[in-house]
């Protein structure tokens, strides 16, 4: 007996979402609705006919939206990202809607991108690029420092944080780490030292953030922790934006 293919409504869809989802294993067993607009209370009704919605980081998946989705038969919200702070998990559970995410969101790619950001900030590559475009080849103000012998602090040692730590050890940096659930075996193998968060903030020339957004990590980079840091410290955040108190950071930069 032939069964009807389930429908999936994909929100905030980009061209690459269409390309890769359509080519994925099992994709031909689904019907796809690709919406370029975001999921919000005003757009939730566009999921009518679907049994699954796929969302990204800027989609709104609060109680109001979830109630609307449940009312039209949605039983699964599939996130195309690692973070899930935009989803009301308690309401989803209450309404019988399952929620999935991508916990291992290309850890090597994110770790390597983190290193690229650190090198760019340290050697002022973004500023040098603009100067060269204007035929200005002055090196004034573009000096950085050798990573070798300096100290890096890793805040969060999940898969991405551990990879970043290992790469930085390859630069012969001293690497400190903080995590409420330390991986002692990994640290010993890679000569990385777990310390308290205050010591990490005070001693690091580079601080890189790899923690989920939780009540404990929300704005963990704030007025108090910024005041502990060295002058000229480099901060790289490739995790959740709200790990940093934006106004406190702007004030510290001034």
CB burial readout 146-172, b (16+ within 10 A) else e:
ebeebbbbbbbbbbbbbbbbbbbeebe
- Considering only CA atoms, give the Rg of the chain: 22
* 54 pLDDT more than 50: yes
* 198 pLDDT more than 70: yes
Are 112 and 167 spatial neighbours (Cβ–Cβ below 8 Å)? yes
Are 8 and 33 spatial neighbours (Cβ–Cβ below 8 Å)? yes
Are 41 and 64 spatial neighbours (Cβ–Cβ below 8 Å)? yes
Percent of the chain exceeding pLDDT 70 equals: 99
pLDDT in tens, 122-165: 999 999 999 999 999 999 989 999 999 999 999 999 999 999 99
More confident residue, 106 or 178: 178
Bridge partners of 99, per DSSP, are: 77
Distance, CA of 213 to CA of 243 (rounded, Å) = 7
Distance, CA of 224 to CA of 106 (rounded, Å) = 32
For the residues 68-86, what does the mean pLDDT come to?
Answer: 94
Q: How far is CA 125 from the centre of its chain?
A: 23
Tokens in use for 5?
A: 């293919």
* 235 pLDDT more than 70: yes
User: Which CATH code, of 3.30.470.20, 2.60.120.380, 3.40.50.720, 3.40.720.10, is assigned to 107-253?
Assistant: 3.40.50.720
Going by pLDDT thresholds of 50, 70 and 90, the confidence category of residue 190 is very high
Domain range 7-100, CATH architecture: 3-Layer(aba) Sandwich (3.40)
Are 75 and 95 spatial neighbours (Cβ–Cβ below 8 Å)? no
pLDDT the model gives residue 183: 98
Averaged confidence pLDDT in the chain: 95
Distance, CA of 19 to CA of 94 (rounded, Å) = 34
pLDDT in tens, 11-35: 999 999 999 999 987 888 899 999 9
Positions of CATH 3.40.50.720 in the chain: 7-100, 107-253
Are 38 and 60 spatial neighbours (Cβ–Cβ below 8 Å)? yes
Distance, CA of 150 to CA of 131 (rounded, Å) = 28
Q: Give pTM, 2 decimals.
A: 0.85
Q: Alpha helices of the chain — where are they, by DSSP H?
A: 15-23, 63-71, 89-95, 107-123, 125-133, 159-170, 184-190, 197-203, 223-228, 246-253
pLDDT the model gives residue 2: 46
């Amino acid at each position: 007996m032939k069964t009807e293919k389930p429908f999936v409504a994909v929100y905030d869809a980009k061209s690459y979402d269409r390309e890769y989802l359509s080519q994925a294993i099992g994709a031909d067993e689904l019907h796809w609705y690709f919406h370029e607009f975001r999921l919000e209370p005003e757009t939730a009704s566009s999921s009518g006919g679907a049994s699954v919605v796929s969302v990204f980081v800027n989609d709104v998946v609060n109680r109001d939206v979830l109630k609307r989705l449940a009312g039209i038969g949605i039983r699964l919200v599939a996130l195309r990202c690692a973070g899930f702070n935009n989803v009301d998990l308690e309401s989803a559970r209450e309404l019988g809607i399952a929620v999935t995410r991508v916990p291992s969101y290309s850890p090597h790619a994110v770790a390597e991108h983190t290193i690229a950001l650190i090198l760019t900030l340290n050697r002022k590559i973004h500023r040098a690029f603009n100067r060269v475009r204007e035929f200005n080849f002055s090196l004034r103000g573009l000096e950085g420092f050798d990573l070798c012998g300096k100290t890096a602090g890793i805040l969060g040692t999940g898969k991405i944080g551990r990879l970043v730590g290992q790469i930085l050890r390859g630069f012969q940096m001293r690497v400190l780490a903080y995590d409420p659930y330390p991986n002692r075996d990994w640290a010993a193998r890679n000569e990385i030292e777990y310390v308290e968060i205050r010591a990490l903030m005070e001693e690091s020339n580079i601080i890189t953030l790899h923690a989920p957004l939780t009540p404990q990590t929300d704005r963990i980079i704030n007025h108090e922790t910024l005041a502990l840091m060295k002058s000229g410290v480099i901060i790289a955040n490739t995790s959740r934006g709200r790990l940093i108190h934006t106004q406190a950071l702007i004030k510290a930069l001034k």
